[in-house]
Amino acid sequence: MRSSAPLVFHALIPCSSLCSSRHATTVRTVPALSAVAARTTKLRVGTSIFVPARRNPVLSAHALASIDHMSNGRLIVGVGLGGLEPRDFQLANTRLDQRARITDGYIPLYRQLWTNPISDATGEFYSCPEVGFGPLPKESIPIWIGGSSPAAIDRAARLGDGWLSIFLTPEQFVDGSKELDDIALRGGRDPNEITRANYMFGAIGETTEEAECVLRPAVEGSSMSPPSRWRVP
């Protein structure tokens, strides 16, 4: 973490799975970003992907606002449905078939809690009247919608400050971006106000074989196997 800032990185955005794979381990997102925020001054920090449906919305909004405060406004919140790890929903006691509706309800709730000292945190899946916390963000925390499906693109056009596609080729990214533009315009939004980014999974090594040795433990046994699919010519 201490050595990342002097390099040419723009942002640090770790994954946010509740469960580790069979061979890899993960550090919890909130404490990891808190540590990075405390040790850097310019590096943007963010989540990829924070899954609202697996967490209490008030506690999540407070934790994210705290990171934004500690980083002096450098936080980007990437949110999504979290479909790659169904086990995570079992731990959170959340039904998979409700995750889209929960996400659509929690995103505006986050913004409400980040804006008002006291709010009515009430909706279809959560009810807590007259709740608040501080310090509140000085500026709006950007929310990027993660995913590459038509539903994710639609959600980004409706609710997102940004779109974070996953594992798309340049051609697919351009096509998805055009679709996002069309949906945003139909909804009365300016597409130019929606940031675009593409999440790629990989490892860097002196040789292809060395990079695959680093990558293999993290992807084996998951939907991201085999490691060879991530080779760059």
Any bridge partners for residue 121, and if so which?
128
- The pLDDT, as a whole number, for residue 208 is 84
CA 196 to chain centre: 13
Name the band, by pLDDT with cuts 50, 70 and 90, for residue 58. very high
CA distances for 232 relative to 162, 202, 204, 215, angstroms: 26, 9, 10, 13
Instruction: Spell out the domains of the chain, with CATH numbers in brackets.
Output: 11-204 (3.20.20.30), 205-233 (no CATH)
Residue range 192-212: average pLDDT? 87
Name the band, by pLDDT with cuts 50, 70 and 90, for residue 7. very low
- Asked if pLDDT for residue 172 goes beyond 50, the answer is yes
- pTM for the full predicted model: 0.84
Name the band, by pLDDT with cuts 50, 70 and 90, for residue 8. very low
Q: Are 2 and 37 in contact (CB under 8 A)?
A: no
pLDDT tens-digit map of 93-124: 788 889 999 999 999 999 999 999 998 888 88
Residue range 53-72: average pLDDT? 94
Name the band, by pLDDT with cuts 50, 70 and 90, for residue 184. very high
* Rounded distance between C-alpha atoms, residue 130 and residue 88, angstroms: 30
Residue range 165-169: average pLDDT? 87
